Amino acid sequence: MDIFQSIVILIVLVSCSFFLSLSEIAIAGSRKIKLKLIAESGDERATKVMHMQENSADFFASTQIGVNAVAILGGIVGESSLRPYFNELVLGFYQGKWADSIGFSLSFLTVTTLFILFADLMPKRLAMIFPEKLAIMVIEPIGVFIKVCKPLAWIINIIANSIFKVFKVNTKRDDSLTFDDISAIVNAGAQAGVLQKQEHHFIENVFELEERNVPSSMTPRENVVFFTLNEPEESIRQKLAEYPFSKFLVCNENIDQVIGYIDAKDILVRILNHQKINQLNESTIRNVLTIPDALTLSELLDRFRASKEKFAVVINEYALVVGVITLSDIMITVMGDWVTPMEEEQQIIQRDTNSWLIEGSTPIEDMMHALEIDSMPEHDNYETLAGFMMFQLRKIPRPADNVIFAGYKFEVVDVDNFRIDQLLVTRLVDQPIEDEPIEE
């Protein structure tokens, strides 16, 4: 065999190995979501790629048979055909006893380099860059190759499956997506500039609906405005004027004796009809949705959808009212800073670059977003910033008590009847960080 024939055979073998390596990585690395989009656009080859991913045993066995067979054959042909020429080249400079060994080493390195570069490194890098596009291009020819290798692949798969069973290895591919997977995709999109910062924030908030409990977004008990059955007309008018809410609870004597709720527009209709507005009865009082405080915001959305309601009373395990929540409150949680209810004051006010005034009732997730804090210690034990302070201090805080955490100093500014009303949060600059509570 002359040098020309040897080179042609090497080129053919390297090309075969190039194709097999590229096919293996492209099909294995193709993302199912993108393949589904391509299949929906009418390309049936994407469906074949997904089917091969789900039944990958014959595919991997066949490609490995091909890659190893070609590599072995390439080594035999390449070394035997190139070695005489390298021996001649070496003898032109060196005639010692190591001349034959040097010629063999040079031929071996040449063939090995060719296969590493053109049959392994380059095809795999290309397949990682364009996995779906290349997988669709090679799916038809690789299917023919698998049929050719099927008998030998069948034997190899039996042996491999037996070994997997001995070690109890699950060989079924799991393509299910978790919230963490989707969150990672969203974060990657934001870093790549595909998603704008505000869009990224919206999507993160939607995912948080599954984790955030109702109390994190509700109007707390002390801020709930309600009517009693015997509420004087003047008091009703005053509350309507002072609090521009669309719905008000109706209770018997106190807030824990809830009867229902009344829509502000129903009272307005009575005023326009010159009727007394202090005669609350079944025609104006509506049944109210009552929910436990352990529900997540996602579960509450399901309750709203099933009951066709947009307003609910939140009660605790002792059947005491802890607050009220509306569909608008959930939307505000998702939209964040873009939507602020007119009747509510802003809970987080940035004073300057390194300091904020934050209400104690602020949900801990909102505070984390504002301060760009990734995680909080033992987050399940509290839902608000006030709860975080009490958990860290292990007592009812007083003004000037503070906690240092994640490079921020959280200092209690105002306490109203044992309730933390407001805190001053300061970013520590060029100071050592110690996550310890400090009492003064």
Q: Measured at the alpha carbon of residue 26, what is the angle toward residues 24 and 30, in degrees to the nearest 5?
A: 125
Q: What range does the domain containing 305 cover?
A: 214-338
pLDDT at 432: 47
Boundary (domain end) residue, out of 167, 200, 232: 167
Query: Which amino acid type is present at position 301?
Result: L
Note whether 201 and 229 are same-domain residues.
no
pLDDT at 410: 94
Q: Do the domain assignments include residue 157? A: yes
Q: How many residues does the chain have?
A: 440
Q: Do the domain assignments include residue 309? A: yes
Note whether 36 and 117 are same-domain residues.
yes
Residue 32 has φ and ψ, to the nearest 5°, of -65, -35
Q: Do the domain assignments include residue 438? A: no
- What pTM value is reported for the model? 0.53
pLDDT at 300: 92
pLDDT at 325: 93
Number of domains present in the structure of the chain: 4
Please tell me the number of Cα atoms within 13 Å of 362 on its side-chain side. 26
CA separation, residue 235 to residues 15, 53, 264, 325 (Å): 88, 70, 14, 23
Residue 352 has φ and ψ, to the nearest 5°, of -155, -165
Dihedral, 221, 225, 227, 231 alpha carbons, nearest 10:
120
Note whether 161 and 223 are same-domain residues.
no
Strand pairing of 219-220 and 311-315? unpaired
Q: Do the domain assignments include residue 231? A: yes
Note whether 52 and 90 are same-domain residues.
yes
Q: How far apart are CA 253 and CA 220, in angstroms?
A: 19
Q: How far apart are CA 380 and CA 63, in angstroms?
A: 50
Note whether 362 and 254 are same-domain residues.
no
Boundary (domain end) residue, out of 167, 201, 224: 167
CA-based nearest residue to 236, from 269, 279, 276, 278: 278
CATH code at 407? 3.30.465.10
Note whether 54 and 118 are same-domain residues.
yes
Mean pLDDT by 10 residues, the chain (440 residues): 79 93 93 90 92 89 91 83 81 83 87 90 93 94 93 90 86 67 72 68 74 85 88 86 87 89 84 71 81 90 90 91 90 67 62 88 84 84 88 89 92 87 86 49
Note whether 51 and 146 are same-domain residues.
yes
Note whether 40 and 152 are same-domain residues.
yes
Q: Do the domain assignments include residue 440? A: no
Q: How far apart are CA 4 and CA 141, in angstroms?
A: 28
Residues linked to residue 350 through DSSP beta bridges, in sequence order: 356
Residues 6 or more apart whose CB falls under 8 angstroms from that of 340 comprise 332, 346
Q: Do the domain assignments include residue 439? A: no
Q: Do the domain assignments include residue 243? A: yes
Q: Measured at the alpha carbon of residue 353, what is the angle toward residues 404 and 188, in degrees to the nearest 5?
A: 85
Q: Do the domain assignments include residue 116? A: yes
Residues 6 or more apart whose CB falls under 8 angstroms from that of 368 comprise 374, 375, 376
Conformation bin of residue 43: beta by default, left when phi > 0, alpha when psi is -120 to 50: beta
CATH code at 301? 3.10.580.10
Q: How far apart are CA 177 and CA 284, in angstroms?
A: 48
Note whether 397 and 250 are same-domain residues.
no
Boundary (domain end) residue, out of 293, 308, 338: 338
Neighbours of 148 (CB within 10 A): 12
Note whether 115 and 62 are same-domain residues.
yes
pLDDT at 279: 65
Note whether 282 and 380 are same-domain residues.
no
Q: How far apart are CA 396 and CA 401, in angstroms?
A: 10
CA-based nearest residue to 104, from 90, 119, 118: 90
Note whether 155 and 245 are same-domain residues.
no
